[in-house]
Structure 1
Amino acid sequence: MGGPRYALGNVREDLLRGGDDWDKFSRFWEGLPLDPYMGDGGTYRRRKHSLISYDVGDGTVRSAGRNGFHQSKEINRLNGGIVRHFEPVDQALLDTSVFRRMLAHFVARIEEATPDGGPVPPVRRINVHQHRIVASEDELGNPTPEGIHRDGVEHVVMMLVARQAVTGGVSTLYDNAESPVLTHTLSEPGDYIFLDDRTGLHSVSRVRVAPAAPEGYRDMFFLEFC
């Protein structure tokens, strides 16, 4: 069956060429609301979510409705099986040059990987997620409380926005038999894993606050191409 198809990179090195674009983008992780759906009772995750459509031809981005975010219990054993409603991602974030460049870049890469003769949708539906995982002296942060899993989509981009006063948060990719294939830490802002979700699974280790720090966080941005 083979292992997961993935690529590693850094968005700032791949797409950005100086300027203050990244600062305009990364500031949207301040003030994220608490995720109220944590099946483990944790208060360590803040998040926003939007479902958008992206016109491959002209680059138009539109909201695809507010019907909530749903994963089956088979996909997410902890928090799946219900429709979860989150505050939407700010339109101003969706208007940033970082976001628009990311969309165009990864859509093009998906199309390049599509076998000859395979269908290429003219409009993509994409889940956009912002996460902040907080760690403190009283509570560990758990980026993947559902354990080893897949997201149930076509492709996923998992990108680090910031790490502040934390240790851990190590990503592992697995084949479909749950054998580990890659262990990798997203350490620099813009580092990403680009994964064909159908070909493998993934998890992330717990996040601990760094010694002598009262609190730390790990900010992540996800694009899920449906």
Structure 2
Amino acid sequence: MSEIEVMTIFSMESLRHRYAADRYIFIPGREMISVLTTFGANVEELYELQSAWDQLADDPTLAYRRSRNGRFLIDFQGMSASRLEQQGFRLSSDEDFVRHDSGTVRTFAPIMGDIQNLSIVQALFRFKAALIKGLDIRPRPGLQPGQEQLVSTAFALRTISGNGLIGEPAAEGVHSDGVEHTLTMLVNVNNLTGDSAISTLHFNEETTGIHTNKVDERWVAGRVRHSQPLDTLVIVDTERKHSLTQVKQQVSDSLATRDMLILFTRRPCAPGHGSFAYDSLEPNMEHPLSFPL
């Protein structure tokens, strides 16, 4: 075993221990460079990744956001990841997500090759798979038990403030994402104030849907802020809710933008789950992709 492999195993065990203990983990971008490199990333691709966010499409329900998404299969038995067919996306109040579009089946433009083919993105999938594999967590109701396969929905999101828009990374207030593990990584940021987009982690006793300014400090598990590219937060979504403050402009005559790559990961839906009809495990024939974990 090489020295790099030994260091990778030691580092991942340390990260897994922190994640298991706190049920969330924040990894600064400077540390993520090393982590992603050991999982096969060429971090010089960061500029290409950032450029891809200029090709996002109009969001189906939020005027201040641009977006794309894609569904991926994490197969621990075959130790591979692959792109699944594009489907609608549904998140409901039953899953601790209360917003005007809760329960609506939203159709997002698909993630393209300029994102999914980058080694830095594939390394992020490998990292998350290694972080969560075998971790004992509170299961999300309505999902298939004992699965060696996980569905991971990737969102490329740009939140915008300016020109009469106020960007809300989480207009739904305190919420969960209806999955089992949520990963959020900052791709790029422009013209934000220092108090913009602060993430608060809440114990589940906090009330779903209340504004982040009205939370009970007794139920705050921590606060972090993505400020540098590759800053990464991972949350056990069944055990910690979260909320975010608004995106605010530092210079009023320029747009403020916050670009994020988000990976929602859970077991496949069982019959009776509200998203069962939108949870196919068939491969994507328009944007095929497969790579080893």
- TM surpasses 0.5: yes
C-alpha contact 1:4 1:174 (8 A) present in aligned 2? no
**Is residue 113 from structure 1 mapped to residue 130 from structure 2 by the alignment?**
no
Cα distance, 1:219 vs. partner? Answer: 0.4
> Once superposed, what is the RMSD of the aligned Cα atoms?
2.1
After TM superposition, give the deviation of residue 4 of structure 1 in Å: 5.8
Give the letter for the 2:204 counterpart: N
Q: In the alignment, which of 230, 238, 259 is matched to residue 219 of structure 1?
A: 259
- Equivalent residue runs for 1:59-70 within 5 Å: 59-63=80-84, 65-70=85-90
1:205, 1:69 → 2: CA distance? 24
Q: C-alpha separation between the residues in 1 aligned to 2:46 and 2:197?
A: 22
State whether residues 201 and 242 of structure 2, in contact with CA within 8 Å, keep that contact through their aligned partners in structure 1. yes
Alignment-derived partner of residue 207 in structure 1: 247
By percentage of residues, which structure has more helix?
Answer: 2
- d(CA) in 2 for partners of 1:174, 1:152: 15
**Which has more strand, going by share of residues?**
1
Percent identity between the aligned chains?
26
* Secondary structure in 1 matching 2:93: coil
What code does the residue aligned with 1:34 have?
A: D
Q: Which amino acid aligns with 1:132?
A: R
Q: Which residue of 1 aligns with 2:26?
A: 8
**1:5 aligned partner, one-letter code:** R
Query: Could you tell me how far 1:31 is from its partner in structure 2?
Result: 2.6
Q: Which of 174, 187, 197 lines up with 2:202 in the alignment?
A: 174
Return the letter of the residue paired with 2:98: R
User: Where does structure 2 lack aligned partners over 5 or more consecutive residues?
Assistant: 1-20, 138-144, 207-218, 267-293
Letter in 2 for 1:77: V
Q: Structure 1 residue runs of 4+, over 6 Å off?
A: none
Given the alignment, which residue of 226, 232, 238 partners 1:186? 226
Aligned match for 1:24, one of 45, 48, 52: 48
One-letter code of the match for 2:251? P
Look up the SS of the partner of 1:141 in the other structure: coil
Provide the C-alpha distance between the structure 2 equivalents of 1:90 and 1:12, rounded to a whole number of angstroms: 23
The one of 121, 130, 133 equivalent to 2:159 is 133
* Residues 41-65 of structure 1, C-alpha deviations (whole Å, 9 max, x = no match): xx211111111213333424122x2
Distance, in Å, in 1 between the alignment partners of 2:97 and 2:36 is 32
C-alpha separation in 2, matches of 1:80 and 1:108: 31
* Paired AA for residue 113 in structure 1: L
> Does 1:99 find its partner at 2:117?
no
Give the Cα separation in 2 of the matches to 1:105 and 1:164: 27
TM-score, normalized by length of structure 1?
A: 0.87
3-state secondary structure, aligned to 2:177: coil
Q: Is the 8 A contact 1:136 1:209 kept in 2?
A: yes
The 2-side partners of 1:158 and 1:150 are apart by 13
Partner residue of 2:61?
37
Change (3 A) 1:182 1:60: closer
- Where structure 1 has 5 or more consecutive residues not aligned to the other structure, the ranges are none
Q: TM-score with structure 2 length normalisation? A: 0.68
CA contact (8 A) 2:26 2:224 kept: no
Structure 1 counterpart SS, 2:182: strand
